[in-house]
Chain A
């Protein structure tokens, strides 16, 4: 959502504005002097530059002012705004992209004193033994550790997976609880049906995507993100879920939030950023997708005391809002970010009814710090998809967050240092790690630490294959790149680390560019035009001390840029760690014919990508679409960079040149129900009602939607169908008296000394000659001469008019008036004010209407000579102050009675009572349409479609010949608008008086269809059954129609060609005898 700065109201969401096209295209001084070509150029041709472009905008939902903006059409950046009539400012500069990372100079003072190098562990610390057999916990949950983890062992939960009941604890995810119970397989793959196991511990999970069955069915949720609750029922999926068939009973809502600083991610870097800003008075939002802050520290169980300290600081800071269980999933223009907060999912059946289940946060942030961390990357080795293959850091997270070991005997396969820390920690937790397989020939200090802990390190080796049916039982290892020298290890767990991918999704969505980082072997944020910084793992900074310092510096810079004073937060002392460069590896040769999966979710292998490049694909965007790698809810989290690396190898190019696919929102799937929020059911779209709505409801009206209005359509009585009800209502209007709620007509009060001159320019007919007390029908056209709206104009005073518009066009007509007044005719002293709801309008129609009105308006002289057609009077009707207009949209004697809506019900009920003796009948829009069609009165938008001139409608009489100019006039001299074969509005009478022509029916000349293409003469725009005519009839737009009156044409309806006769559009009372009663 762009922010557009209104020159009056300041920055507002773009949804409040209407676009008005190119600015500085003035209305020609003398359109009549232009050639057709020059006029067409003015009408239809506009510039379309790439780059800065001056445009007109209207702050439609705000101050209604038109203004000009210079927008860069390539970036959508608004470079300048200025008021209508002002000169376009001289060259304006676009924002220059800013580095997403602090400079080294900024970093330096923030670098904390590194402590002395940590003592290498003297050996494996005492293992927490895996309990098996006899006692408590272990019996039910054989892979649960007795001590580690942040689960609540005093809060056991029961859940069901694939029909089996299990126990877990509060604080578990579905995945961790399954692992605790020894269940690692959580589905089969979508295309190949291969068994798949839990692969990760976070949102990147590609395999364990499950169906939740109870309490409410939800498809395709990663088990790693489902917080366990009592009574959870889930099933594994074959790669595809099932939508619920019952309506979702939960509530969903949205909140708009504004802040000086939004920090995304509550890991070490994000917490440091938030801590630096917490007590400054700046408004800070910290959002994190987990139930508690800490990020990667929760997985490593390091510095948790510092995490608690910062969390306490943030919870008590008055201007800080910490959003837990909240995933920021989209980063849009002008730092508008969308997040979804999962508020009650984790409560299961205990979720309160009145609290929204999920909430969309629409956050507008002055500055953003992205601390979204990094996802561990896998490697494409043979049979790398067996249940038991897991990311190394994820296994560590299961031990430290959930007190779960995902297996008993593990082999680690790595290309970098990070897996060593995981291996050592897991060993300490009781996991038997048989070997660490490192592709690097010299793995350095960390390897020494592992060896000291009793783990065999195979340097310069790689995994070449796996065994197991389905769970992993053995891992085959060989020197990297060789097929000889194989060794086999028995293992039920293979922990993989191919390096780390910064989570750059949001940065990329924000328009940020990525660059390849050689040392990291991945893509990192580079520069962005928005006020955003990226810190920590998301910036490729995997070293904890640097990530903390970087986060604190970014938080400080952000709020200082907003004018607040930061403080230096306490950061934990982090021991410096040895570092040996990672090796860039994507594919690993292995057993011939064994699949090497790149995208586990989509079953895409190295061979599939090879087929794509073999077919000529040269870009990752193309290989993605060819193979589907990186689609579905993975969206490249596990497969993106790996696929780029594989494709680069296949093409023999450098991965840095190849790049990644584009990151698009949402970062993680968001349900449609959540996005819809409150805007569903009766609140889906505003319903507009009149002051008489409840009466209509009480009297059985069926309603028609006209724009957002609910208008009575017809009032069926005693089980009538629509046809019967409408014939009855029409008969009442033609023979007795009937009344209709016409309050929805748009009404605009036009005031000022130049009001008459203004309306003369706007309408095709002359309004300045209208006398006070009188009414004139008017037609309004666009510049191209096509009918745009029609209605009546009432002259209230020499300098004041009341204009009515069609129901659906009220806002558009007012905008149109304001556009001309503000941008082209600012010299006119006239103002327009909507008074649509200031007045309720009742149409009283029929030969007996005069008697009903006369009875209720004793002070009103109702006879023709006193109160002629197209006059208005102020009087009292049924004791209610009223403006009564003699207007007819039916051809009958009729009045429109305008009163305050506060008293409309009183008026309406008085009319109903006074008219009872004449059988007064309420009627709806369908009857109104029939009555007007019988008289050939067009309805704008039904009988017209933006290609019809007043002349086409047979209303040349409404187009002034006297006025020097008005909007549309020049277009009536264009060759195209004087063609003799233009479509005219005519009547159609089917030869069979009972035959009904569906609206939209085409018309052809011959009784037998010629071979296609069949020449079409026009189409039916309105079609009805007429009580007055005793037959069906239609209105139609027909080529040269007025010259065809009396001709027979044919209408293909179904498989028949119905003969019809072209007629005048005025089929009822052509002499107008009924108008005066």
Chain B
């Protein structure tokens, strides 16, 4: 297939919601920031965490895949999310998914690994600002207190009535990534905007 460079004809799942997210951010006057981070490279990696491939892939990516459940490791612009004991999601800047995929495959050589480009499977919402936790707490049953879900934590859970992957960003004030299946992104955006009404200056 052709390369994955973005062109003008690329449309992200929330392209039509950009204005509404920006308007909500403005009306919350600093309390909340909501935006889509479109087209991030996302690659699903499955391998035996105890096998040789884990080390080889770690070396190739210059990033040790996190072994502790529901944690993330960041290095060199890449974020590795623990999704399961043999499953990770690598997230990076738009366009690098093919390169990531081939680096992992060549690093693993004959070891059995599964590598799947899932960049379009989910899109990413940025939820930040001083009220970000309060906003998510309207629909997320997890304890998002900084002592429990601070930088370095991620979780697959539910937000509203959709499944989502939450990632606490690297600084406490930087908020969260909410990764959501593209087909649910419109629903979840409507949900977040409705929940954010509470924090708008009227």
Interface contact B85-A903, CB-CB below 8 Å: no
Residues of A within 8 A of B137 (CB): 255-257
Residues of A within 8 A of B46 (CB): 751, 831, 833
Say if the beta carbon of A356 comes within 8 Å of chain B: yes
Bound CA–CA A257/B145 (angstroms) = 9
Residues of B within 8 A of A251 (CB): 197-198
Interface contact B84-A63, CB-CB below 8 Å: yes
| Given A683-B187, A835-B118: A62 touches B143 (CB 8 Å cut-off) | no
Residues of B within 8 A of A15 (CB): 141, 158
Interface contact A12-B84, CB-CB below 8 Å: no
Interface contact B182-A837, CB-CB below 8 Å: yes
- Report the interface size class on chain A: 35 or more
Residue of B12, B121, B190 with most chain A CB atoms under a 10 A cut-off: B121
Say if the beta carbon of A621 comes within 8 Å of chain B: no
> Digit string of A1-31 for contact with B (CB within 8 Å is 1, else 0)?
1000000111011011000000000000000
Residues of A within 8 A of B145 (CB): 258, 283
Bound CA–CA A61/B142 (angstroms) = 12
Closest Cβ neighbor of B183 among chain A residues = A688
Interface contact B13-A901, CB-CB below 8 Å: yes
Say if the beta carbon of A560 comes within 8 Å of chain B: no
Give the shortest distance, in Å, between B70 (CB) and chain A (any CB). Answer: 6
Residues of A within 8 A of B184 (CB): 686, 688
Interface contact B183-A364, CB-CB below 8 Å: no
| Given A687-B187, A751-B46, A837-B181: A62 touches B156 (CB 8 Å cut-off) | yes
Interface contact B10-A829, CB-CB below 8 Å: no
Residues of A within 8 A of B126 (CB): none
| Given A682-B190, A837-B120: A902 touches B114 (CB 8 Å cut-off) | no
Residues of B within 8 A of A834 (CB): 121
Give the shortest distance, in Å, between A907 (CB) and chain B (any CB). Answer: 9
Interface residues of B in 173-202 (CB under 8 A from A): 181-184, 186-188, 190-191, 194-195, 197-198, 200, 202
Say if the beta carbon of B119 comes within 8 Å of chain A: yes
Bound CA–CA A301/B40 (angstroms) = 62
Residues of B within 8 A of A830 (CB): 114
Interface contact A838-B119, CB-CB below 8 Å: yes
Say if the beta carbon of A64 comes within 8 Å of chain B: yes
Bound CA–CA A12/B155 (angstroms) = 11
Give the shortest distance, in Å, between A88 (CB) and chain B (any CB). Answer: 20
Interface contact A63-B69, CB-CB below 8 Å: yes
Query: At the interface with chain B, which of A40-48, A347-355, A719-727, A1048-1056?
Result: A347-355
Say if the beta carbon of B75 comes within 8 Å of chain A: no
Closest Cβ neighbor of B68 among chain A residues = A8
Closest Cβ neighbor of A694 among chain B residues = B16
Closest Cβ neighbor of A8 among chain B residues = B69
> Digit string of B70-82 for contact with A (CB within 8 Å is 1, else 0)?
1000000000000
Residues of A within 8 A of B182 (CB): 691, 837, 901
Interface residues of A in 36-94 (CB under 8 A from B): 61-65
Closest Cβ neighbor of B143 among chain A residues = A258
Residues of B within 8 A of A362 (CB): 141
| Given A258-B143, A749-B116: A902 touches B183 (CB 8 Å cut-off) | no
Bound CA–CA A830/B48 (angstroms) = 11
Residue of A10, A355, A837 with most chain B CB atoms under a 10 A cut-off: A837
Bound CA–CA A686/B86 (angstroms) = 30
Residues of A within 8 A of B84 (CB): 8, 63-65
Per CB-CB distance, the 9 closest pairs between chain A and chain B, nearest first, are A751-B114, A831-B114, A831-B46, A688-B183, A881-B1, A258-B143, A906-B9, A837-B182, A686-B187
Given contacts A352-B202, A833-B118, 14 further A-B contacts (CB under 8 A): A10-B70, A16-B158, A63-B83, A65-B85, A356-B198, A678-B160, A686-B161, A689-B183, A830-B114, A836-B181, A880-B9, A881-B2, A901-B13, A902-B120
Could you list 5 A-B pairs, sorted by A, with CB under 8 Å? A63-B87, A678-B195, A751-B46, A752-B112, A883-B1
| A residues with CB within 8 A of B | 1, 8-10, 12-13, 15-16, 61-65, 251, 253-258, 283, 352-356, 362, 364, 678-679, 682-683, 685-691, 693-694, 709, 744, 749, 751-753, 829-831, 833-839, 874, 876, 880-881, 883, 900-906
